[in-house]
Structure 1
Amino acid sequence: MGVLTPLGEHLRRSRLLRFGLVGCVGFVTDAGVTLLLHTRLGLGEALARVLGFLVAATVTWWLNRRFTFQAEGGASSWLRYVVLTSTGAFINIACYLVVVQLLGATPLVLLLGVAVGSIVALGFNFWVSHNWVFATPRPPR
């Protein structure tokens, strides 16, 4: 157990791990809203996905601000988060649509599409969040 304790402590403190955990919450939010909007409200796959993403982005911005990066910020931080992760969102949604186009629009395929898009965009979004959205300003030299 001696090796596992330092490893567990490192993982507990890891921003990437916390970002990933927040991403899991975002995935559940995104998938749930997407499925709800498509299967219960009858919205098309693409519109349901975009709206699901926007809800999930708001949830993950708040959690990352508080839990992952312990950063200050309000509406301008949220806007910066949404704008700077829009490329990640594009990657995410494009992957989702490719999966849906290839495999159909059953609920299981919609979930698979959300999962594929989320995983592909995770690395990019962490980099953007760490370096641009929640970065601690460096003092001038």
Structure 2
Amino acid sequence: MSKTRRELLRFAVAGVAGLACDALAFYLALAAGLSLYPARLLSFLCAVTLTWLINRRYTFASAGHPPPAPSLREFVRYLGAMLGGGAINYAVSVLCVLMLPPWRVTPLLAVAAGSLAGMLLNFVSAKLLVFQRT
């Protein structure tokens, strides 16, 4: 398996962990009394933080070399990259629902399409802009 394919697979696994973190943090925030939008913002930040830690340590780590110490600058770059993918995710899922009437009945398909589109942009952004190691 090529290095890029291995990284993409690991990135996807980190994304699944991020989704679980996102959902858990969201429901915990709601249970703690936060309203919908603040709960969603908090859960997104929790998920981004977890995926940043996983991706920097496992997905994009050089074999035999530990990653450099975490930095606020790297986290902010990662957050910015993930916001771009999040926008693509949202746009694709909304367009699917609007343009593909059967997907109104099964919006989870639109969510999946958006997630895949966002994941691809996020992977390329993370690989080239955030975790590019020399």
TM-score (norm 1): 0.66
Deviation at 1:77, TM superposition (A): 1.1
What's 1:127 paired with?
Answer: 124
Partner residue of 2:22 out of 24, 30, 53: 30
Aligned partner letter, 2:9: L
Larger radius of gyration: 1
CA distance in 1: counterparts of 2:10 and 2:34, whole angstroms: 32
Moved over 6 A (4+): none
CA deviation after TM superposition for structure 1 residue 11, in Å: 7.9
**Superposed CA offset, 1:88-124 (max 9, x none):** 233446678x6xxxxxxxxxxxxx5xx6464442111
Q: What is the match of residue 74 of structure 1?
A: 71
Give the alignment of 1:36-75 within 5 angstroms: 36-38=28-30, 40-70=31-61, 71-72=67-68, 73-75=70-72
Q: Which has the higher contact order (CA 8 A, sep 6+)?
A: 1
CA contact (8 A) 1:27 1:118 kept: no
What 5-or-longer segments of structure 1 have no aligned partner? 1-9, 99-111
Asked if structure 2 preserves the Cα contact closer than 8 Å seen for 1:30 and 1:52, the reply is yes
Structure 1 stretch displaced more, 23-32 or 82-91: 82-91
8 Å contact kept, 1:34–1:48: yes
User: Normalising to structure 2: TM-score of the pair?
Assistant: 0.69
SS in 1 for 2:75: helix
Percent sequence identity over aligned pairs: 36
Q: What CA distance in whole angstroms lies between the structure 1 residues aligned with 2:116 and 2:35?
A: 23
Query: Hey, what's the Cα distance between the residues in 2 that align with 1:134 and 1:66?
Result: 10
